[in-house]
Structure 1
Amino acid sequence: MSREATGGARLSRAAREQQIMEAAAALAVEQGCLPLPLETLGERVGVSKALVYAYFPTQQDLANRILVRHLQEMDAAVDLAFQAGSPRETALSCAEAYFDHAARHGPLLHLLLSDPMAAGALAPEARALYGRIMRRMAIGLRDHFGVPSRDCIPALHILAALAEDAGEQVFTKRLDPELGRRLAREMTDGALCDLSARLQRPPRGLAAS
């Protein structure tokens, strides 16, 4: 087997970092939590544990670098979603973007944003990107539901969970990609209709005007 096939080829720093981050992301999804066994990570890349540390001095640094890379991907996808047209189509396109990410990478974003080790040490860039994405999607739902953005946050988490679940089914090969995409869109559309009725319902005890 060649050195390149085993990961032992001499790579540029950027290429090696990318190689380590891709292997680390896959390993994190496999085990479902952090920290990562760096000896195993090094073996997958074909480098020593010491070299992994040379590129990423702490596990938090590695997690943040992976998170920023994937949040940038989602940020670009959300930008495209906002070109979809109507608020409803924008919401559906955002859900599809998250479905696509989960179908390719599994629950990686959810894991990195919820794992105590990673979430407790978010880098400023990661925090800012996550905040931007959430604000933009909340604004999109505000335009759809006609209620303040802050009231849309619970709905946003519900819709994201639907898209993520369908994407994970595709990631684990339990669902055909095209069927998964269609189901994600249909479930999101149904949830949008149901949530619209609930969010716009008058408070209990108030008579309809």
Structure 2
Amino acid sequence: MEAVAAEGDREQEVLAAAEALIREGRTLNLSLGDIAERVGVSRSLLYVYFDGIPAMIDALFNRHLDRMERTVLPDPAEGSSDFHDRALEAFDAYLDYLIDNGPILQLILRERHQDSPLGPASRQRFRSLLRRIARETCQALDLAPREAFVLLELIAGIPESLAPLVRLDQIDRATAHATCRRLVAASLNAFKVRAG
């Protein structure tokens, strides 16, 4: 039983090393040698846990997507029934997620489709998540799907711009949240929210 736990711990160590290198370099251009050196193992041992760098990045992506889904996208039945309130809460939670975790998801998602390190299941999972959010936005704001995607992408830029300022101690978390809420609310208020 201890051997199984140790293997799981080693796999988590490998992922933690890969994530640290991505954060430090702000790039997905990792080498197995750098990861092995960070963990203190041989390069060949990394293949026991992952098929290569893309598999590590895919695992990191799923780990972070799990975290984000839990914190940013709670079940609508559990929270406020008002779209505007839920959206403000979600973007507040997204800001906290970015402050606490950094831009890992952004770095992974900025890769072009042909260069994407994500496997088909991860890409499908992310597309399903985006469709779910866009569908709710379309219904609440009476927007076409393309408009909803663009609006969400533009609003997401607000916490994505504020989080690095907090991480660099240029503003405090409370100021970032107040700014985020004010800008997100103004963006949403530009559209008439459907009743019901």
Decide: shared fold, TM above 0.5: yes
- Distance, in Å, in 1 between the alignment partners of 2:118 and 2:153 is 20
Q: In structure 2, the residue corresponding to 1:80 is in which secondary structure?
A: coil
The answer for the alignment partner of 1:67 in structure 2 is 61
The answer for the alignment partner of 1:178 in structure 2 is 174
Q: Gaps spanning 5+ residues in structure 2: where?
A: none
Of 60, 68, 88, the match for 1:92: 88
Is 1:30 the equivalent of 2:24? yes
- Distance, in Å, in 2 between the alignment partners of 1:67 and 1:90 is 24
- Distance, in Å, in 1 between the alignment partners of 2:174 and 2:36 is 35
Mapped contact 2:72–2:91 kept (Cα < 8 A): no
Q: 1:37 to 1:117 in 2, by over 3 A?
A: farther
Q: In structure 1, the residue corresponding to 2:170 is in which secondary structure?
A: coil
- Distance, in Å, in 2 between the alignment partners of 1:26 and 1:140 is 35
Residue 116 of structure 1, CA deviation? 4.0
The answer for the alignment partner of 1:206 in structure 2 is none
- Distance, in Å, in 2 between the alignment partners of 1:173 and 1:17 is 32
Q: 1:27 to 1:117 in 2, by over 3 A?
A: farther
Residue 15 of structure 1, CA deviation? 1.6
TM-score normalised by L of structure 1: 0.79
- 1:87-126 equivalent positions in 2, closer than 5 A: 87-116=83-112, 120-126=116-122
Supply the AA of the counterpart residue of 1:64: D
- Distance, in Å, in 2 between the alignment partners of 1:77 and 1:136 is 16
The answer for the alignment partner of 1:142 in structure 2 is 138
Q: In structure 1, the residue corresponding to 2:30 is in which secondary structure?
A: coil
Residue 29 of structure 1, CA deviation? 2.0
Residue 177 of structure 1, CA deviation? 1.8
Summarize deviations over 1:69-114 as a string: whole Å, max 9, x none.
Answer: 1111122234426323301012112212221221012111110011
- Distance, in Å, in 1 between the alignment partners of 2:5 and 2:114 is 28
Q: 1:93 to 1:27 in 2, by over 3 A?
A: same
Q: In structure 2, the residue corresponding to 1:12 is in which secondary structure?
A: helix
- Distance, in Å, in 2 between the alignment partners of 1:72 and 1:11 is 21
Of 30, 48, 52, the match for 2:46: 52
The answer for the alignment partner of 2:156 in structure 1 is 160
- Distance, in Å, in 1 between the alignment partners of 2:162 and 2:80 is 21
Is 1:76 the equivalent of 2:76? no
Query: What percentage of residue pairs aligned between the two structures are identical?
Result: 27
- Distance, in Å, in 2 between the alignment partners of 1:129 and 1:57 is 21
Return structure 1 stretches of 4+ with deviation > 3 angstroms.
116-119
Q: 1:69 to 1:184 in 2, by over 3 A?
A: same
Aligned residues: 189
Summarize deviations over 1:159-193 as a string: whole Å, max 9, x none.
Answer: 11111111222223332122222222222112222
Q: 1:70 to 1:118 in 2, by over 3 A?
A: farther
- Distance, in Å, in 1 between the alignment partners of 2:14 and 2:80 is 35
Q: Gaps spanning 5+ residues in structure 1: where?
A: 1-9, 198-209
Structure with higher Rg: it is 1
Residue 26 of structure 1, CA deviation? 2.1
Q: 1:34 to 1:80 in 2, by over 3 A?
A: same
